[in-house]
Amino acid sequence: MKENKVKDITSRDIDFSKWYTDVVKKADLIDYSSVKGCMIIRPYGYAIWENIQSTLDKTFKKLGHQNVYMPMFIPESLLNKEKEHVQGFAPEVAWVTHGGSEKLEEKLCVRPTSETLFCEHYAKIINSYRDLPKLYNQWCSVVRWEKTTRPFLRSREFLWQEGHTIHATEDEARLETITMLNCYADFCKNILAIPVIKGRKTEKEKFAGAVDTYTIEALMYNGIALQSGTSHYFGDGFAKAFNIVYSDKENKLKYAHQTSWGVTTRLIGAIIMVHSDDNGLVLPPNIAPNKVIIIPIGKDDNLNKRAYEFKKLLECNGINTIIDNSDKSPGFKFAEAEVKGIPVRIEFGQRDLENDSVTMVRRDNGLKEIVKIEDIPNKVLELLAFIQNDMYERALLRKNEMTFTAKNLDEMEKIINKQPGFIKAMWCGNEKCEIQIKEKIGVTSRCIPLDNNEKISDKCVCCGKDAKELVYWGKQY
C-alpha cells in the first residue's frame, strides 16, 4: 500500500471507528451540534443525500407512489393504539409537554416513525375497495432518543423516507413489500455500488407491529453488518387497531392490508464504510455530487481558460464538474479532491497542453492516464462507468471473502474471534437458540436470506436439533 497521503486521517486498519469519524469530518460531511446525537449535515453531505433522494424518489413515483407530508407530532393516545408498536418505540421517543409556558393537556410525541399518523388518516379516507390501494411516501426527519450516537449511523434525529401503503388484499400488500425491498437492493447495487443480502428478519428482530420485516444487510469494510433498509408487511394488525375498513365488491366490510418501508441517511454511513480508504471518502460516480474535478497546474491565464472549456464540454455531456483554480499548491489540491472522494480528477499544465492532452486520475484506485483533449468527454464517461462497476465488484469480493459458514458454535466462535463478517449457519427457528448465540458468540441474526437455499447442515448451529432455516449472523452497527 502507498503511504497515507492525507494528514489527520487514522488508518482504517488501525482504528476503524476513529477512521470513520475522521473521514466524516475531513470530507466536511457534517459538523456536530450542541445537542447530543444531532448533527449538522454540511452542504457536501447534504448534496449526497439529495442525490439519494432524487434517484429514489423517481423510482418510487415510477412505481405509482405519491408524496405526502404528515405532522411531526403524535398525540400519546394515538401512539398507544397499537400495542406492539408502542412497546417497541416508547423507550426512545421524545415528548413535547409544553406549548409556550402552558402545560399541554395531552403530551405529544415527536414522531419516531409515522405508522400511527398514516393509519389515522387512512381510516378517514378509505371507505370502498375503489379507494385502494393508496401508495404514499414521505420524506422527513424522525427523532429517536438514542443512547449511543454516531454520525449517520445512529443519530437522534435523522432524515429518511417512509413509504406507507394500504391495499385490499394480503397478496397485493405482500407484493408491495417485496417490490420495495428489491427497489432498495437494486438502488444499493446500481447507484451506491454496495452489495446487500436480501432477507427476512426473525421474530425477535422484526419491526414492532409487523407481521414480517424484510431487510437489506450490507457488510462494512471491517466485517460489521449494517441494516441498510427495511420493508415491512403489516397484515391487517394496524387496520384492526385503527379500524381501517372498506366495503368490497360484495358490499362486505373488510380490513385493509398495509406495508411500510424506509431508508435513511444511514446509507451515507454505508457508502463511507464500504468504499472509502485512508485518503478519505471514495464516492461511487452515480451518487457523487461532483463527478470530475479539474485542476490546472500553473497560473497562466490560458490554463484557466482551458479549464473552463473542459468543464463546459463535460457539463454538456451531463457530467457535474468543478474546477479548483485556487492558488494552493497542486499537491494540496490533489489531496483535497481525494478526501472528498471525487471520482475523476483531470490535471493539466503547460506540458500537457503542448501535447494536446490532459492527465486523468481515478479516485478509486489511483490509476493515471494521459488522454487526448478531443477524447475527454468520452473518456470520462467510460471511466465513470468503469469506476462504478469496479467499486461494486471490489465490494462484492470483499463481502464474499468475509462471509463464512459454521456448523456449530465452536466454529462460529473461531470465525468471529479471527475476523468479523457474515456467518451463514442453520437455525432451528427457536428464539432461545437465537438468544444463546447472541450471549455466547456476540452475533445476532441479520436475516433469513430470500434467494439462497443452501443447506450448510441438517442441524441447528446452536442446539443440534433439526434445522429449519439458513440464517446470516453477524455483528451489527
| Site residues, RNA (CB under 7 A) | 5-8, 17-18, 20-21, 32, 34-38, 91-92, 144, 146-156, 158, 207, 227-230, 262, 264-266, 279, 297-299, 327-336, 338-339, 347-352, 359, 361, 366, 442, 476-477
Residue number, 109 or 467, with CB nearest to RNA = 109
Least spacing, CB of residue 34 vs RNA, in Å = 6
Least distance from C-beta 33 to RNA, angstroms?
Answer: 7
CA distance 161 to 112: 12
Nearer to RNA, 118 or 246 (CB): 118
**Dihedral pair phi/psi, residue 46, rounded to 5°:** -70, -35
CB of 453 to RNA, least distance (A): 25
* Between 168 and 272, CB nearer to RNA: 272
Nearest to 261 by CA among 228, 236, 284: 228
- Min separation Cβ 421 and RNA, Å: 15
Q: What are the backbone angles phi and psi of residue 462, rounded to the nearest 5°?
A: -100, -60
Tell me how far, at minimum, the Cβ of 15 lies from RNA, in Å: 7
Kindly tell me which of 146 and 248 has the beta carbon lying closer to RNA. 146
Cβ of residue 474: shortest distance to RNA, in angstroms? Answer: 12
Q: Which is nearer to RNA, 61 or 147 (CB)?
A: 147
Helices 170-190, 43-62: inter-axial angle, 10-degree rounding:
140
Identity of the residue numbered 200:
R
How far does Cα 174 stand from its chain's mean position? 22
SS (H, E, C) 153-203: CECCEEEEEEEEEEECCHHHHHHHHHHHHHHHHHHHHHCCCCCEEEEECCH
Nearest to 438 by CA among 202, 148, 92: 202
Nearer to RNA, 356 or 382 (CB): 356
For residues 188 and 160, is the Cβ–Cβ distance under 8 A? no
| Min dist. Cβ of residue 245 to RNA (A) | 28
Phi (first) and psi of residue 378, to 5 degrees: -65, -40
Smallest distance, Å, CB 405 to RNA? 23
User: Residue 348 pairs with which residues in a beta bridge?
Assistant: 296
> Considering the complex, what minimum distance in angstroms separates the CB of residue 416 from RNA?
11
Reading the block at residue 334, the C-alpha cell is 490533489
Output the smallest distance, CB 376 to RNA, in A. Answer: 14
Q: Are residues 292 and 314 in contact, defined by beta-carbon separation less than 8 angstroms?
A: yes
Length of the chain: 477
Nearer to RNA, 104 or 353 (CB): 353
- Toward RNA, which CB reaches closer, 75 or 330? 330
Residue 179 vs 359, nearer CB to RNA = 359
| DSSP code of residue 441 | H
- The secondary structure of 292-339 as a DSSP string is EEEEE-S--HHHHHHHHHHHHHHHHTT--EEE--SSS-HHHHHHHHHH
Q: Which is nearer to RNA, 50 or 171 (CB)?
A: 50
* Chain Cα centroid distance, residue 72: 22
In the block, residue with C-alpha cell 424522525: 142
Instruction: Tell the smallest beta-carbon distance from residue 181 to RNA (Å).
Output: 13
In angstroms, what CA-CA distances link 92 with 89, 120, 228? 6, 22, 20
Q: What CA–CA distance (Å, rounded) separates 31 from 8?
A: 17
Instruction: Pick between residue 18 and residue 130 the one whose CB is nearest to RNA.
Output: 18
Q: 120: part of which helix (H) or strand (E)? A: helix 115-125
Residue labelled with grid coordinates 458468540: 441
